Structure 1
Amino acid sequence: MINKVRHRVLNLSLGDAELRLLRVFASVVQYGGFSSAQTALGMTQATISTHMRHLEDRLGLRLCSRGRSGFLLTDEGRLVYEATLELFGSLEKFQSRVGEAQGELTGSLAFGTVDAMITNRDLDLQGALAAFHRQAPRVHLEIDVAAPQLLQQGLLSGGYQIVLMPSVGSVTPHFRTRPVFSEVQKLYCAQGHPLFGVADTAITTELLEAQSFAGRTYMLNETICGVNFRWAAATPHMEGTLLLLLSGAYIGFLPDHYAEEWVRSGRLRLLAPERMTFEDLFHIAHPRNKPSRAAETLARAIVDSVRTHR
């Protein structure tokens, strides 16, 4: 079967249209399905389905199935996906080496990060992107905002060449990482929640443990700041946490810079800030193999933006 799949892939005429179909396929696999890949691709499910059907027709292979059991790759689809990652990796290396031979940075760079970065006072990410563009104006930069789990998966699969993310478990064995800054997380509730009007001096550990807690899907359900919270909801994104808090039904942690506007407007309230505070250490990460010059350039720009912004 491996030889059969290789024969079909090798005989696929690789023009811009075919490469676009393969990129759609790789994104669908990376995000685990058609609906999950919609935002990243900027396409409807119907359009993604059409692209996938065209690719299957051109290869003469069934790549995936989807139904009640969810999105599943066929054996042929798994082999095509592996071949696609190898192809894109080779294209990136070719473009990078040609650019280096010409004395300039070219090609594409896939960068991933988590949400709620734009309000961070300790990180001028937009300034870093401007600096990167000045240094590498011919590099096509692709930015994706995703959950930390997906950023890790994307690094492993080749979907990203560099990511900026909080520490999630033990990433060191798989990637090269560089600590960049720490983000302060504090505990909040919203108007309508029973704790909204309770004085901090009356907020005990037992009282907090009795509340419905909105956690992060990438965090372990363990003690935080000495409290065994009662997990009742979870989301990987800060916006998802904010929505849950604004419902008035949950308490949860948010970056202080992201919550600041809502606290100022009176919609959110800090809960026992002297006790309920911790820091998330953010890293720049890339695969263990030597990063491209473009990835190194962006990494330096991000690090410099932290130093100059403070």
Structure 2
Amino acid sequence: MDASPHSSVPPLTESDLRLLRIFRSVAEAGGLTAAEAALGMERSTISRHLQTLELRLGGRLCLRGPAGFELTEFGRRALVAAVSASEALDAIRHELNLARHVMTGELRIGIADNCLSNPRSAFARALTRFRELAPDVTVNLSIKLPGDILTGLQDKNLHLGVTGAAPGVERLVFEPLFLEDFRLYTYARDGRAPARADLAREGFGLVTRTNDQRTQMAARELKLERTAMAFGLEAVATMLVSGGFVGFLPVHYVEAWAPLYRFVEVEGAEDLAYDTIFSLVTLKDRPLPSSAALLTRILRELQGAEKRALGQRFALVSGNYA
């Protein structure tokens, strides 16, 4: 069933909006089976709802079957419309509740892993204060990779993101919050910290993180031929513990693992240390719901002290975010 360019979509009803919400859940989950738990419906019921929506809209929304799940071009346009409709209804509900001095709804946030162990991050404290001020708001918090956070914001699946991803996406606004400092470590079973000059001779390899140009440049600086690829901080740490590798880890992450694992900084590699700026990220042309605006204000207040404490160091690292 393909959408006809010569027939218009009929006026939408309340039932159509419900079907659009179901369709959005299926599309965001990536299939009918994956959406069963989120919707609390059986696959056969979801399938019937999709068929009804396709008949109402006059076009095939997705391909579903043994070959997998895939949105059609019409389905992709319908998903954008479904997201906009959901946001409009949520905005109306927010405004009516605010008129009654009540803040409700769902706040969807994506944050990078290991923010909790960074003493410079005030996110957990901000969330505590937020929940005191807006107890009726449902907070949907998920740990995501930097790229997934940026995609989620652009797809309007997230309201706010906290990530160390570098700015550069025109549709997004990056507001610097705090720093994370990385140094070159290895795992010392004998307690000895190797010297940078001896790494190649002793057969050390370098653990490089996926899509991290800094570690790839460090491989050339250190002249280490043997490398390993890691996906995430814990993967880097696991490779170091396995022996024979050096890699970059945040100082706070190493300190958090100190009771269990003895990571030592490589001697003479101080010049390879670097800072990563973590930012609050929002979609530029999307008005924030009142709950997201409140959490943003709280974060700014709490992180302001961190920015002032770091002073010039913070200004130098975050200068390219202006």
Whole-angstrom distance in 1 between the partners of 2:208 and 2:42? 33
Matched position secondary structure for 1:21: helix
1:288 maps to what in 2? 284
Structure 1 segment 60-75 matched on structure 2, within 5 A = 60=54, 61-65=60-64, 72-75=70-73
- Alpha-carbon separation, structure 1, partners of 2:44 and 2:236: 34
In structure 1, distance between residues paired with 2:80 and 2:50: 16
Q: Which residue of 1 aligns with 2:165?
A: 167
Q: Secondary structure at the match of 1:239?
A: helix
Residue 27 of structure 2 contacts residue 71 of structure 2 at CA under 8 Å; is this kept in 1?
A: no
Residue 15 of structure 2 is matched in structure 1 by 13
Task: Quote the Cα distance in structure 2 between the aligned partners of 1:175 and 1:95.
Answer: 26
1:259 aligns with 2:254: yes
- Deviation track 1:97-128 (CA, whole Å, cap 9, x = no partner) reads 22333333222211111111111111232221
How far off is 1:136 after superposition? 1.5
Change (3 A) 1:291 1:119: same
Q: Is 2:235 the counterpart of 1:234? A: no
Cα shift at 1:12: 7.5
- Distance in 1 (CA, whole Å) between partners of 2:288 and 2:155 is 15
For each residue in 1:113-152, what CA deviation from the matched residue of structure 2 results, as whole angstroms up to 9, or x when unmatched?
1111111111232221110011212222111110110110
Q: Are the aligned partners of 1:217 and 1:234 in contact in 2 as well (CA < 8 Å)?
A: no
Q: Letter of the 1:85 partner, please give it.
A: V
Residue of structure 2 aligned with 1:85, choices 73, 83, 86: 83
- Map 1:146-161 to 2 at 5 A: 146-161=144-159
Greater Rg, structure 1 or structure 2?
2
State the TM-score, normalizing by the size of structure 2: 0.73
Q: What is the match of residue 210 of structure 2?
A: 216
The alignment status of 1:56 with 2:54, answered yes or no, reads no
Deviation at 1:160, TM superposition (A): 0.8
Amino acid at match of 2:138: H
Q: Structure 1 residues 151, 207: closer, same or farther in 2, change over 3 A?
A: farther
Does residue 182 of structure 1 match 2:182?
no
Matching of residue 99 in structure 1 with residue 107 in structure 2: no
CA contact (8 A) 1:24 1:52 kept: no
Aligned to 2:57: none
CA distance, structure 1, for counterparts of residue 209 and residue 70 of structure 2: 28
Counterpart position of 1:278: 274
Distance apart, 1:202 and its partner CA: 3.6
Alpha-carbon distance, 1:298 to partner: 0.7
Compute the RMSD of aligned alpha carbons.
3.9
Alignment identity in percent?
20
Counterpart in 2 of 1:304?
A: 301
* 1:83–1:184 distance in 2 versus 1, CA, 3 Å: same
Gaps of 5+ in 1: none
Q: How many residues align?
A: 294
Pick closer, same or farther for the CA change 1:2–1:304 going to 2, 3 Å.
Answer: farther
- Matched-pair contact (CA < 8 Å) for 1:221–1:231: no
Alpha-carbon shift at residue 223 of structure 1 (Å): 2.0
Q: Unaligned stretches of 5+ in structure 2?
A: 55-59, 310-322
1:23–1:81 Cα change, 3 Å? closer
AA partner of residue 246 (structure 2):
I
